[in-house]
């Protein structure tokens, strides 16, 4: 079960990374468009930027960022600074891991619950992005999945015998 959760976290992080790369590419193209526009204006014409760029980035970055959280947790990326923890005995490090994982699981479950409520609200309101006119609710789904996967990863870490120390 743990291996399956950690693989799911890795896959989700890779998908989040692909979205982050897509954001980077679109941003580079948009900035290039601004540069071309500056040059085109010297010749009395213009070059448009990407319409809806802000909509796209705000919607996709909200998904991409949350998709990284479960993977970070598999690597204890949310827990403690290793250099600091090495100053304490192993049992203390384990206690910190258990408390941290418990608090992170609670936080992830709360955020997942609130995101479900947000999804239902924007779905009922038929909320759409300002420029592109995209439905907002689908962009909640990756975050909701990430929050519950993050909570599950935390729960597996609570019961691990060999904790990260």
Specify whether the CB–CB gap between 34 and 113 falls below 8 A.
no
Query: How high is the pLDDT of residue 21?
Result: 97
Spell out the long-range contacts of 55-60 with Cβ–Cβ below 8 A and sequence spacing 24 or more. Answer: 55/129, 55/130, 55/131, 55/132, 55/134, 56/23, 56/26, 56/132, 57/23, 57/26, 57/27, 58/129, 59/129, 59/134, 59/136, 59/139, 60/19, 60/22, 60/23, 60/139
How much is the pLDDT for 122?
Answer: 97
Average pLDDT of the chain is: 91
- Straight-line distance from the first to the last Cα atom of the chain, in angstroms, rounded to the nearest whole number: 22
Question: Mean of the pLDDT values across residues 110-135?
Answer: 96
With cut-offs at 50, 70 and 90, classify the pLDDT of residue 112.
very high
DSSP 113-145: HHHHHHHHHHHHTT-B-TTT--BSGGGGHHHHH
Is residue 84 predicted with pLDDT exceeding 80?
no
Q: Is the pLDDT of residue 162 over 70?
A: no
């Amino acid at each position: 079960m743990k291996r399956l959760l950690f693989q799911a976290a890795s896959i989700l992080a890779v998908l989040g990374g692909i979205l982050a790369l897509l954001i980077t590419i679109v941003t580079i193209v948009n900035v290039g468009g601004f540069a071309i526009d500056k040059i085109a204006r010297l010749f009395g014409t213009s070059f448009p930027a990407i319409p809806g760029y802000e909509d796209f980035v705000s919607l996709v970055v909200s998904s991409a960022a949350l998709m990284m959280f479960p993977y970070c947790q598999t690597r204890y990326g949310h827990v403690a600074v290793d250099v600091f923890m090495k100053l304490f005995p192993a049992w203390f490090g384990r206690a910190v891991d258990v408390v941290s994982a418990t608090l992170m699981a609670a936080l992830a479950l709360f955020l997942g619950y609130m995101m479900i409520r947000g999804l239902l609200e924007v779905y009922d309101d038929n909320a759409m992005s300002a420029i592109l006119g995209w439905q907002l609710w689908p962009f909640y789904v990756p975050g909701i999945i990430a929050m519950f996967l993050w909570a599950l990863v935390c729960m597996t870490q609570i019961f691990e015998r060999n904790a990260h120390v």
